[in-house]
Amino acid sequence: MNNLQSLSYYWPEFLLVTTILAAVIYDLLTKPPESQRVGLLVFAGLVLTLFANWFTSAERNITLFLDSLALDPFAQFFKTIIIFSTLFVILISRKSAELRIYRTGEYYTLIAIMVFGMFLMVSAIDLIMVYLSIEVVSISSFILAGYLKKDQRSNESSLKYVIYGAFSSGLMLFGLSILFGLTGTTKFFEIQNVLAGLDVSSHFALIIASIFILAGFGYKISAVPFHFWTPDVYEGAPTPVTAYLSVAPKAAGFALLIRFFHVLFTDAGLLLESENVISTIPWPQVLAGISVATMTLGNLVAIQQSSVKRMLAYSSIAHAGYMLMAMPILSGNGVFAIMIYLVMYLFMNLGAFFVVIVVKNKTGGESFEDFRGLGWEMPLVGIVMALFMFSLTGIPPTAGFIGKFYIFAAVIKAGPAFYWLVFAGAVNSVISLYYYMHVVKVMFFEGESKKKLLFPSVLESTLIITLAVPTLLLGIYWTPIAEWITNSLRFYYQSI
């Protein structure tokens, strides 16, 4: 579809760009104390974008802008995840003590720009669009990570983020250039046609290109060994930004990873029927190894942390490893498992970070010491935090258990060759139980009970309860989510 024809299907992005421009102009016209209102403007714009996304993308499988972007239910699913997580983060940001001394108009505008970049990521079917979308998200993330200009840790996190981001982008761009050199095109489906006919002499170059591209994608999802930026950036960034980076860009990264490898390296992009990648590239073994390394490092290092925020940073690395377990299968079951895991992960991980924000507003810290006796002093916060910890561990009947169940089931269905991967995932889940339950132990079994009970503000209480309820209910009844994902598991594809 040409550029002019594509415009009629691009309403969600038009609304989003209009919101960004309106936020920039409105921020220029407001005084610093009133810049918080920009957040409400961005929130309203994202709600309209959400509705436009539902109505525009429904039941369509087409390409836009000369085969640069795909409009399909798969992209619609991830756009919905991205918008929901953004709405939650915007609301909690208004209550974050870290941001109160700063003008926040630019903050909310940058978040909206990130959303636009992630929209491009989940729809990209062109190498140039892949790179541009990742850079839009990355540059916005660099600025947001260092938004606390007067905080040395925030400045350090932003600098480290830039350095690692530039390095991984360079690797990925080198890989994309090799792939372009091999195929002579940047379009996914045209590349697919050429790859099917490559001779043996090109296989080594293809492997190198794929590894470099995987490095770029691995950076976005915090997979080992591309995870080095994650703990320091998550610790130094404003906690609402940390919560956001742990969910939305990770979801977009997995969407791009799935679409890229399934379109380019499976039979004609028919996801639900394909079996293997190009036989000369041992992708199942490579991805399985990365998965085990990611979850193991994340869990083992999380045990050693004294900061709950930093512990959750390593925890997010481990959860990327769990989701990567389903990637070597290269089947519809595997992608379904990743998608349902991301839905569950959204609620439980955002909820855990939001509790950290509430505690930091109260105590000014985020260490385990700041959580001592919290279950008795702030019972609502203590109870929901315990629920989020149980869910992140994968204990039934929580949403986290359902997410892991589908991941493990998909790997088991792939056959005996992957049973060792299931065993590794189970062992890592047991390891994670230690540090998640340490939070519960500190809240309820340490410290002194207080006579006066404290409760968060109405907005804070509403947000954490809104996240806690699905974390529990989706562990009992998740059929609507499963049906939604089943309907979304349809790519735009072309036959070879």
Nearest to 282 by CA among 222, 214, 363: 214
Domain presence at residue 111: yes
Which pLDDT does position 266 carry in this prediction?
59
**Span 13-38, pLDDT tens digits:** 999 999 999 999 998 888 877 788 88
Q: What does the pLDDT read at residue 32?
A: 75
Write the pLDDT tens digit of every residue in 220-238: 888 888 888 888 888 888 8
Task: Answer yes or no: pTM beyond 0.85.
Answer: yes
Domains: count for the chain? 1
**Number of C-beta neighbours around residue 92 at 10 A:** 23
62's enclosing H/E stretch is strand 62-64
Half-sphere exposure of 363 (CA within 13 A, CB side): 19
* Burial (0-12, 13-18, 19+ Cβ within 10 Å), 28: exposed
Residue 262 lies in a domain: yes
The answer to whether position 337 is within a domain reads: yes
Domain hosting 452: range is 14-488
Task: Take residue 334 and report the two structure tokens written for it.
Answer: 């595997």
Ranges of the chain whose pLDDT falls below 70: 57-60, 265-282, 330, 447, 449-451, 491-496
**Tokens, residue 237:** 């960034």
Are 376 and 450 in contact by the 8 Å Cβ rule? The answer is yes
In a domain, 2, yes or no: no
Res 115: pLDDT: 95
Query: Tens digits of per-residue pLDDT, 112-125?
Result: 999 999 999 999 98
Q: 245 lies in a domain?
A: yes
Does 496 map to a domain?
no
What local confidence, expressed as pLDDT, does residue 67 receive? 83
Could you tell me if residue 6 is inside a domain?
A: no
In a domain, 278, yes or no: yes
Q: Look at residue 141 in the predicted model and tell me its pLDDT.
A: 92
Q: Based on the number of CB atoms within 10 Å of its own CB, is 304 exposed (0-12), middle (13-18) or buried (19 or more)?
A: exposed
Tokens 């099917």 belong to 196
